[in-house]
Amino acid sequence: MPITPDTKDWTWVLERPCNECGFDGADYARQDLSTHIRANAREWQSELSRDDVRIRPNEGRWSVLEYACHARDVYRIFLERLILMETEVDPLFANWDQDEAAINDHYELQDPQIVARELATAAEILAQRLDDVDEDEWSRSGTRSNGSRFTIETLGIYLLHDSLHHLWDVTAL
């Protein structure tokens, strides 16, 4: 059963708290982003061992497994974007359709244990890369295909909201 695509531009979470999950980007310092990413990845591990990991709680929400696949892929995509920002001047990021990725990669059929390992690995690689960002690099910029501009710092905060929000999605029910 297809989920209605999320067409919201969530970049507003960089300016004000998320009224759904409570995330407030102002609460997160750039030097702590990697710590929060690692902690988030650890929390996904227990969620992926749930008995209902493949069951969608309602028509409007993915299953735990589908959200975890998305979180894993977000870590991978944002690592690519971070590398671009570090190595190019104001790169334009390729479009990534999260809903298309879920369908094409058959999130619902993936093995939860493999996804748990892949998510942990992707989060750790990204966290290590963020640990290595030099002080003068945090303001390097990149632009998403819809025109949204990020610095390395705001990209990290935006990413953190995404992964924390989706963990909230699966634990709030």
Domains of the chain, start order: 28-171 (1.20.120.450)
Q: Provide the pLDDT confidence category of residue 47 given band limits of 50, 70 and 90.
A: very high
The pLDDT score that the predictor gives to residue 3 is 67
- Residue range 77-93: average pLDDT? 97
* Band (10; pLDDT cuts 50, 70, 90): confident
What pLDDT score was predicted for residue 1?
A: 60
Confidence grade of residue 14 (pLDDT, cut at 50, 70, 90): very high
SS (H, E, C) the chain: CCCCCCCCCHHHHHCCCCCCCCCCHHHCCHHHHHHHHHHHHHHHHHHCCCCCCCCCCCCCCCCHHHHHHHHHHHHHHHHHHHHHHHHCCCCECCCCCHHHHHHHCCHHHCCHHHHHHHHHHHHHHHHHHHHCCCHHHCCCEEECCCCCEEEHHHHHHHHHHHHHHHHHHHHCC
Model pTM score: 0.93
The pLDDT score that the predictor gives to residue 37 is 98
The per-residue pLDDT for range 55-77, each reduced to its tens digit, is: 998 888 899 999 999 999 999 99
| Span 155-166, pLDDT tens digits | 999 999 999 999
**What is the predicted pLDDT for the residue at 165?**
95
Check whether 49 has a pLDDT greater than 80. yes
- Which of 10-14, 41-45, 82-86, 135-139 is predicted with the least confidence, judged by mean pLDDT? 10-14
